[in-house]
Structure 1
Amino acid sequence: MKQLITGLGCLLIINVSAQTPPPTQLTVEKIMQDPKVWIGTAPSGIFWSEDSKTIYFNWNPTKAKGDSLYKITVSGDQKPLKVGPTERYTLPPATGGIYNRTHTLKLYEKEGDLFLLDCKPGKNGVSAPRQLTNTVERESNPVFSGDEQKVVFTRSNNLFTLHLGTGELTQVTNLDTGTKKAPSKPSEQETWLKRDQLALFEVLRERKAKKDEGEKISKTGQPKRPKQFYTDGRTVQNPHLSPDGRFVTFSLVKAAQGAKTAIVPSYVTESGFTEDLTARTKVGAPFSSSEFYVYDIQRDTIQAVSTKSIPGIMDLPDYARTITTPVPVPDSSNRRGPSVAEPVADSAPKPKKPTERNVTLNGPIWSENGQYAVVIIRAFDNKDRWIMRLDPVTRQLKLLDRQRDEAWVSSLGASANSSGFLADQRTFYFLSEADGYSHLYTVNVETGAKTQLTKGKFEVQQVQLSNDKKFFYLTTNEVHPGEQHFYRMAVTGGERIKLTTMTGANDVTLSPDETKLAIRYSYSNKPWELFLLNLRAAPNDQVTTHKRRGKTAPPPVQLTHSLTPEFQAYPWRDPALVTIPARDGQTIYGRLYKPANPNGKAVLFVHGAGYLQNAHKWWSQYFREYMFHNLLADKGYTVLDIDYRASAGYGRDWRTGIYRHMGGKDLTDNIDAAQWLVKTQGIDAKRIGLYGGSYGGFITLMAMFTTPDVFAAGAALRPVTDWAAYNHGYTANILNEPYADTLAYQRSSPIYFANGLKGHLLICHGMVDVNVHYQDVVRLTQRLIELRKENWEVASYPVEDHAFVEPTSWMDEYKRILKLFEERL
């Protein structure tokens, strides 16, 4: 009887299970499989048709090998349809393109040719584009001329115009990348003989006079050609024609001399031979130089713009103006290496003699009437960004705004994508961190008067000017550092109208007529989907914060459903957003995964990229790690990942908190987080591990080497082991240059502290990583061998670059991480 009851019970369970699928049980094999099969593919690459009736996007609901282009007609049944090849070919690219002033015409480049699209809707929608060029050479960067009668474009580093009415093609510049050959000078003997011959023979004198007259007549009848200018091997960049057609501006870039490029060997190849992959130079390598020129067509002159008058052009950074006492290098014969506690440096920064710094001039950005031109200038050392008015006639520069940062100027600063002129054609808008957060400013280019339009402890992350130039559309994180919303604000500032309502991240693509929002939205435990929000219920309705004409605004409509049933069957955690006090009084934001049955063990995840945010309310780009954290929590682990010092979204001081010392405050933030877990979450202080990739791998190494009693085990994935081996663009901002600021590099590089290792360390690295080179791990391996360390291992992945691709590689890596924590915590 007992067996019968048991059997019936089993039958009952099976019957219920057949009706309601059981929750998915997470395994490393499952969560690291191909995401499009296991999770589904989120929509991406959102763009609108020019009549604002159709949304186009990349999607893959059929789990094909690659994404396809889909469309949704917003006024119809809103069903996603796959776009056919014919229609796809006629569409403009998802990004790029230039409108005329009335937004009735659009210019764009596609596959090296130029097209013109009439955006006025007809009976059958927007007309097909008109192809303007069909050549072997590539035409690019098309813009309308000042009178909008011509298309100005670049071909082979030179500017051309194409008249839209007559089809006349005109070459505007004649920039030759070669070197002008000096004419040979006749010798004294040759000069005397020629003079003597002409003096002796009348027939020679008559023929010469006839030839000279003919050449004069021939030259008089020739059409005017653009001035030929030899660049002497320098590369032409960003040629621009002024709206009035008089001036051409361009940059000439001279390639770095003697810059050695690293090589990454690839061992698993189709050829069966080891093949070398070209990688990059290392920080501190010689870099290119740039000069900015103005071609005055009316005067037929080409002259460089002098940068000597730029305010502070010779200013040295603070670190280079001070001299500190050098600290001796640890004895290289000491097999133990430097102790964890001792500072490591071979010298302090050497004092420099002030010289004119190298700069790059970007632009100009012209007012529509061609009266004003503004250039955005950045110093190569990234300590300064200037916004200056350019007088093309005199080539003089006038300062409008200077942003100086002794660390480095933010990438959110002014650029062509976040700057421009308002309707009055005298007011220039831009982003600046002048008050410590990225905010929107305007400056009058005539008077220099500046106005701050937004203010507060939040960041303006994107800015777009409305078609009528009366409003700004802004993306900010003012509701919470972990949320992104879309706003509208008058160009004079004042109230910001919040247009998005869903908690999380709202990545908005505004329709061309500015009446609809295509929103790529996600939440912490909900991957990205496409939503539609109508800003107007009727053509004359005005947008308000929450209501239209007294009625509640309709919610956004979800247009895509991308997730697989298997993925949805698991109850994905909504990690708690917590705040943690740092030792210096600052507040650290984190995401906490709390298990139902805690086992006293904890894992800290350290996000990568340095300047990146992960303690937020949207679907993380670290979605595999997010799933792994759910798996760990199922096993009883408490998991925490924090936005440590230098993470994005928290303003200038947080961003630059690692200047001249990576592995300083960014590491102590993680240590403070570990201690917070012990104090508030009941975690055993001896059973805490951490892991992370790239910058997260670097922090893991620094933690295991310099604070070995805090973390019992760590997994460093594709880690930087020595910052002197990383690239220039990222590293030099934070640590300056290794030969000028050796102290910064030696106290920031894990390889100098390897002797401190006590806990168990796993290192995983792709062997064809062209970002953080596999050489980093090889050098650290040799260091650990010489130090006679035994509690570490390296897992190498022969076909993986910095970001892994193959599911089997992900599976192997995370099985090793899980094994490390299961055995060592």
Structure 2
Amino acid sequence: MRCLLLASLIALATLPAIAIAATPAAGPLDLETIMASPDWIGHPVESPYWSVDGRSLYYALKRDGDSVRDLYRLGANDGAGGKLDPAAMAQAEGPAVFDRGHTHAAFLLHGDVFLVDLASGHRTQVTRSPQPESAPQFSADGRALQFRDGNDWYSYDLASGVTAPAAVLKFADDPQANQPDALERQQLETFSTLLEIKADRDAHRTQQQTLAAADPGRVPQPFWLGDKIKAADTELSPDGRWMLVVAEPAHHGDGKSPDVIHYVTDSGYTEAEPARNYVGRNDPASQSLLLLDLASHKVWPLKTDNLPGIKDDPLKAIRTQTIAALEKSGHDDEAKALKAPDVRPVTISGDGNGGGIAWSDDGNQAAVQLRAVDNKDRWIASVDFATHALVSQDRPHDNAWINWSFNDFGWLKDGRTLWYLSEAGGWSRLYVKPLDGAAKALTDNSKFEVSQPQLSTDGKWFYLLANKLAPYSYDVYRVPSSGGELTRVTQYEGVDSFTLSPDGKQLAVLHSAPYMLSQLAVQPSAGGTPRELTDTMKSGFAAHAWIQPQFVAVPSSHGAGVVYAKYYGPAGETDAAASRPAVIFVHGAGYLQDVSKQETYYIHEQMFQNLLVQQGYVVLDMDYRGSAGYGRDWRDAIYRDMGHPELEDLLDGKAWLVKHHGVDPKRVGIYGGSYGGFMTEMALLRAPGEFAAGAALRPPADWVTYNHEYTSNILNDPQLDPEAYKTSSPIEYAQNLRDPLLIEHGLIDDNVMASDSIRLYQRLVELHKKNFWISLYPLERHEFEHADDWYDEYRRIDELFDTYVKGQPK
């Protein structure tokens, strides 16, 4: 559910401006203001990075009035600088990489590659091409700068200034290597001239191969890899000797996809737009690895069939049950299609879901991270260049699903020791492992998560983000790469991300708070007083007396320990009679953490909670089971059972409000968007009578129609595990509706399609249900972008709660 993870953050970043409202420092809130363009709030600092010399920091900031990002540069010591004009932009730098001797740096700017001599400061533009280059890296000996264009790699020789392809990949059969068939042989035997022509052609080819092998100044001979595959990724070793090619079938079917229909268009005609596939309708293509020796011009397949567990079937019990049911009902072809493969397919390409390739700095070692297509295993394997084989180094397994997060890995500076994150112990921890030795955890087994590991320039320290102090408190910590104490470096409790300076002595820190968007500071990397560099919040927003959320622990009545939540209530609150109305807000994304001291993804919703409190409600926002930040078991609790453990947690939240805050149990509303909309529907349909009313925004109503990447993790494929989908889909419980339900959906949503809500609406019509409504927005996708629609959406929610929660009509 990759798009859902960032739904409100992206909405905040892309909202176009209308007239900018200004909230007074004091006085009541109003819906028009809080749902206006967020330009009146301010903008978060985005994507900071260090200059090549480590003296300045660059960052991006959205303009008022449109979605354009401007580039800024500030001095790290004095904060001097500001927005770069077009002329200054031409002299800017991009995020830099350095050679091992720290004599040169390279970066990308407007898609081209630049080289900097660190001693003289001289800058050389290496490329000027219409297509963007990427991934600059220095060769192990520092004599060349390597970069890629798509999946093609090039090497720029620093001494000669010559750029040449590192390898030429041809995804076709070698036309000169085909052996003549019977007819061709007959032709050659019959016509001596044809035989002479062929001999001459072969002689030229042999000469070119001989000359190419002896002359490094020539373009290398192509690797003919056949027309049955295509490249999903390629990675060149720093020493220029090897290339790893991630291959997948050339003609993997796209599968059938639904259309998104645009009703309000420039042309005045309805227009159709293809969207993503449904889960299980086109599984990811199985990928494979090729090892190319660029020196000897040889190719070896790196087989995966020796990886531990690769031939197991972790879904055997479910598979057996489903196949038996299909065979019993006479669907033999469908049953046959569900037979387990002999070797489980894997994906390798680095797509954020647990794959990728990492080379040691010297190019002598490579590690590959592979993920099973069935989502149950991930492997880190090293490459044995002598035997041309993969050697398993780590295999985290999860009976539910392997997390797509916490998949960082790489090499220590010795080039022989791997480091990686793993949830194998129940929480994300940092490990190191020599190739021929045992793994050692660098972070202890306490119940906290670590992420974003960065190895210091000298290789002595790992810096990482951790919520060790409390689940909702994030700071930068560091630990020696050889093992030792984990030490807290920052004191914000709301760090979003960080980056080390080129010399490793300073940290650039993005930090935030519940009513402060990400701001940039610099501090010593060993700890110390930070220097704040930015304040991009607008005065009207910053001056308002916003309600600070209280971080509370709600006891679970189902053995889950406690459920952390944010409580919004009036200042100076005293005990109240059991008559107060309340609202429970349910965050989206499923695997997302909203209960933290960082900025929330849901800035509009947070302001709406303030408005609700102003109107007499209290509000609770819970990190129900399935949320991020609380370890593997908290995430896995929803496996094959979406909407059930989470509902238990929400009902515990309601009971806590009744017990501790004078809430009338008959006057509790619920709302949320995306996964929060799904949970709103599940709450009303699986616990009728518990909530006075609910508003479901862009909700998945039937998981069979959601995407593969997110859904198959939690519910497997629908063909294989249909019961999990029936258990987890609101449409299956439509007959239970008895409480008012408002559904709101963007008509051009290409993440959760509007058809989900329309199908549920039709089901409720056919069931003769009452008090349900649907509001559709013709120009909105999943993340709403237009202030008018934000206002209309929340006006309807406000009126729903005012009528059915606060008013409680009979």
The answer on whether the counterparts of 2:368 and 2:382 sit within 8 Å (CA) in structure 1 is yes
> Which residue pairs with 1:5 in the alignment?
none
Match for 1:817 among 797, 800, 805?
A: 797
Is structure 2 residue 162 aligned with structure 1 residue 168?
A: yes
Cα deviations across residues 250-306 of structure 1 (Å, max 9, x unaligned)? Answer: 111225325112210111111111122221011002232212101123443212111
C-alpha change, 1:219 and 1:601, in structure 2 (3 Å) is closer
Question: Does residue 47 of structure 1 match 2:27?
Answer: no
Per the alignment, residue 567 of structure 2 pairs with 592
Once the two structures are TM-superposed, the CA of residue 807 in structure 1 deviates from its matched residue by: 0.6
SS of equivalent residue, structure 2 residue 419: strand
Which of these residues, 214, 232, 235, is aligned with residue 227 of structure 2?
Answer: 232
Q: Which residue of 1 aligns with 2:507?
A: 517
One-letter identity of the residue aligned with 2:419:
Y
Q: Is contact 2:43-2:517 (8 Å) kept?
A: no
**Which aligned pairs between 1:68-83 and structure 2 lie closer than 5 A?**
68-76=70-78, 78-83=79-84
Match of 1:269 among 265, 269, 289: 265
- Aligned equivalent of 2:290, options 293, 303, 307: 293
Letter in structure 1 aligned against 2:676? G
In the TM superposition, residue 503 of structure 1 has moved relative to its aligned partner by 3.5
| Residue in structure 2 matched with residue 23 of structure 1 by the alignment | 26
Residues 130-159 of structure 1 show CA distances to partners (whole Å, capped at 9, x for unaligned) of: 111223454333322222212223346333
Q: Distance in 2 between matches of 1:207 and 1:360?
A: 48
1:427–1:442 CA contact under 8 A, matched in 2 = yes
Query: Which residue of 1 is the match for residue 247 of structure 2?
Result: 252
CA contact (8 A) 2:167 2:222 kept: yes
| 1:104 equivalent in structure 2 | 103
Change (3 A) 1:184 1:355: closer
Matched, 1:427 2:417: yes
Shift in Å, 1:183: 5.1
1:778 equivalent to 2:772? Answer no
Distance 2:449 2:533 in 1: 29
Structure 2 equivalent of residue 412 of structure 1: 405
- Aligned-residue identity in percent: 38
Deviation readout 1:416-445 (Å, 9 max, x if unpaired): xx3222232221110011110000001110
Name 1:471's counterpart in structure 2: 461
Residues 1:750 and 2:730 are matched in the alignment: yes
Q: Which residue of 1 aligns with 2:212?
A: 223
The AA in structure 2 aligned to 1:399 is S
Task: Say which SS state the counterpart of residue 815 (structure 1) adopts.
Answer: helix
Q: Render the CA deviation track for 1:32-77: whole Å, top value 9, x for unaligned.
A: 11111x212232221221222222222358667644222222333x
Which residue is 2:147 aligned to? 153
**Is the 2:442–2:479 Cα contact (8 Å) retained in structure 1?**
no
Q: Does structure 1 conserve the Cα–Cα contact (< 8 Å) formed by 2:742 and 2:773?
A: yes
Q: Which residue of 1 aligns with 2:331?
A: none
Displacement of 1:483 in angstroms is 1.0
Note the C-alpha offset of 1:650: 0.4
**1:591–1:785 CA distance, 2 compared to 1 (3 A):** same
1:710 aligns with 2:705: no
Partner of 1:8: none
Distance 1:713 1:72, change over 3 A: same
Given the alignment, which residue of 546, 563, 574 partners 1:572? Answer: 546
Q: Deviations over 1:565-603 (max 9, x none)?
A: 322342111111111111222210000111357661010
Question: What letter matches 1:762 in structure 2?
Answer: L
Do the aligned partners of residues 391 and 677 (structure 1) sit closer, same or farther apart at CA in structure 2, a change above 3 Å counting?
A: same
Q: Which moved more, 1:434-443 or 1:271-280?
A: 271-280
- Which residue of 357, 373, 377 corresponds with 1:380? 373
TM-score, length-normalised on structure 1?
Answer: 0.86
Distance 1:357 1:479 in 2: 40
User: Matches of 1:228 and 1:147 in 2, distance apart?
Assistant: 25
Q: Distance in 1 between matches of 2:209 and 2:38?
A: 70
Are 2:90 and 1:89 equivalent residues in the alignment? yes
Tell me if 1:140 matches 2:134: yes
Give 1:277's aligned amino acid.
E
Q: Distance in 1 between matches of 2:194 and 2:44?
A: 83
Q: Which amino acid aligns with 1:283?
A: V
Distance 1:686 1:171, change over 3 A: same
Partners of 1:29 and 1:217 lie apart in 2 by 77
Residue aligning to 1:344: none
Residue 486 in structure 1 maps to residue 476 in structure 2? yes
1:129 maps to 123
What does residue 345 of structure 2 align with? 358
Structure 2's unaligned 5+ residue stretches are 1-22, 214-219, 327-333, 349-354, 806-810
Secondary structure of 1:489's counterpart equals: strand
1:613 CA drift (Å): 0.7
Supply the distance in 1 between the matched residues of 2:323 and 2:411 (Cα, whole angstroms).
50
The question of whether the paired residues in 1 share the 8 Å contact of 2:101 and 2:142 is answered with no
Q: Secondary structure at the match of 1:162?
A: strand
Gaps in structure 1 of 5+ consecutive residues: 1-19, 199-203, 330-346, 536-542, 545-552
Does the CA-based 8 Å contact 1:24-1:566 persist in structure 2?
no
CA deviation string 1:479-506 (max 9, x = no partner): 1111110112211222122121123335
Cα separation, partners in 2 of 1:779 and 1:371, compared to 1, 3 Å: same
Q: Whole-Å Cα distance in 1 between the matches of residues 674 and 405 of structure 2? A: 22
Show the counterpart of 2:767: 787
Amino acid at match of 1:291: S
Question: In structure 2, the residue corresponding to 1:484 is in which secondary structure?
Answer: strand
Equivalent pairs, count: 755
Letter in 1 for 2:402: V
Per-residue CA deviation, residues 489-535 of structure 1 (Å, 9 max, x unaligned), is: 21122212212112333532332223333322222233333333245
Shift of 1:243: 3.7
